[in-house]
Amino acid sequence: MKLIVSFIAAMISLVPTLVHAQEVQSYSRGNAFIYFMAIAGVLVFGIHDVFHNKKATWAAAILIPTVLYLLLPAK
């Protein structure tokens, strides 16, 4: 019960912060780059985990970060 109450209290305190963060229109390409590269790392690891093939892993390690970098908005 304490866990549920603490979870609800955390959500009540975090929701206004999250709403305020979404309203702010500032964009940082550097932060987006960090997030995209983290996503790329997870995707490359997933490719490796599924295929267990060195060539597929190397191709994904080159292709996925490049494509995600090109998807970044130019600001």
pLDDT for the residue 56: 92
Q: What angle do CA 44, 37, 52 make, to 5 degrees?
A: 10
Confidence of residue 59 (pLDDT cuts 50, 70, 90): very high
Task: Give the number of other Cβ atoms within 10 Å of residue 38's Cβ.
Answer: 10
**pTM over 0.75, yes/no:** no
Average pLDDT of span 40-69: 92
Q: What is the mean pLDDT of the chain?
A: 79
**Distance of alpha carbon 49 from alpha carbon 45, whole angstroms:** 6
Domain ranges of the chain: 2-70
The pLDDT tens digits of the residues spanning 30-53 come to 778 888 889 999 999 999 999 999
